[in-house]
């Protein structure tokens, strides 16, 4: 249930992020409240893990403030809500993978553009893809790194 909810949250906010480069606060509030209810009722993660997941978003928010929003505050709020659904480690993995995918996309997209370093790009679609990759790997039993 929480997987479906988080996929819907990422999907809805990704569309907004692509179209307008903004996310709606109503979606963040609604899915945040749903995440809190899921945590209270189902207890999928420890409180420590949930707070750690939310803290990943808080750190992103601080980076947003320090960099004058080179990282969007809306992205940070979305990561905070993700922490409610994923706990610390999974939130960290999703953000890490999304950052790598965004960097690869950014390198490709900025080729041939003089103002490439100032180019804005939505981050939520990368969160969505990263979450789907992590979910798929989890469903397949994880990765086997050594023979």
In a domain, 42, yes or no: yes
In a domain, 145, yes or no: no
- pLDDT confidence of residue 147: 46
**124 located within any domain:** yes
> Considering the domain boundaries, does residue 147 fall inside one?
no
How do residues 106-120 score in pLDDT, each as one tens digit? Answer: 888 888 777 656 778
* Domain with 8 in it: 2-139
Is 16 part of any domain? Answer: yes
Regions of the chain where pLDDT drops below 70: 1, 115-117, 143-147
CB-based contact 28:49 (threshold 8 Å):
no
Domain count, the chain: 1
Q: Output the pTM of the full model.
A: 0.90
Q: What is the CA radius of gyration of the chain?
A: 16
- Structural domain contains residue 146: no
């Amino acid at each position: 249930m929480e997987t479906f909810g988080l996929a819907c949250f990422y999907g809805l906010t990704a569309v907004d992020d692509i179209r307008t480069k903004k996310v709606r606060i109503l979606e963040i509030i609604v899915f945040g409240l749903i995440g809190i209810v899921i945590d209270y009722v189902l207890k999928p993660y420890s409180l420590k893990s949930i707070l750690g997941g939310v803290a990943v978003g808080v750190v992103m928010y601080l980076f947003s403030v320090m960099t004058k929003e080179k990282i969007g505050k809306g992205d940070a709020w979305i990561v905070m809500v993700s922490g409610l659904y994923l706990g610390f480690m999974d939130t960290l993995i999703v953000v890490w993978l999304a950052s790598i995918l965004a960097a690869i996309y950014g390198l490709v997209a900025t080729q041939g553009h003089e103002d490439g370093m100032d180019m804005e790009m939505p981050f939520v679609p990368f969160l969505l893809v990263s979450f789907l990759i992590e979910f798929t790997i989890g469903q397949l039993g994880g990765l086997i790194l050594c023979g």
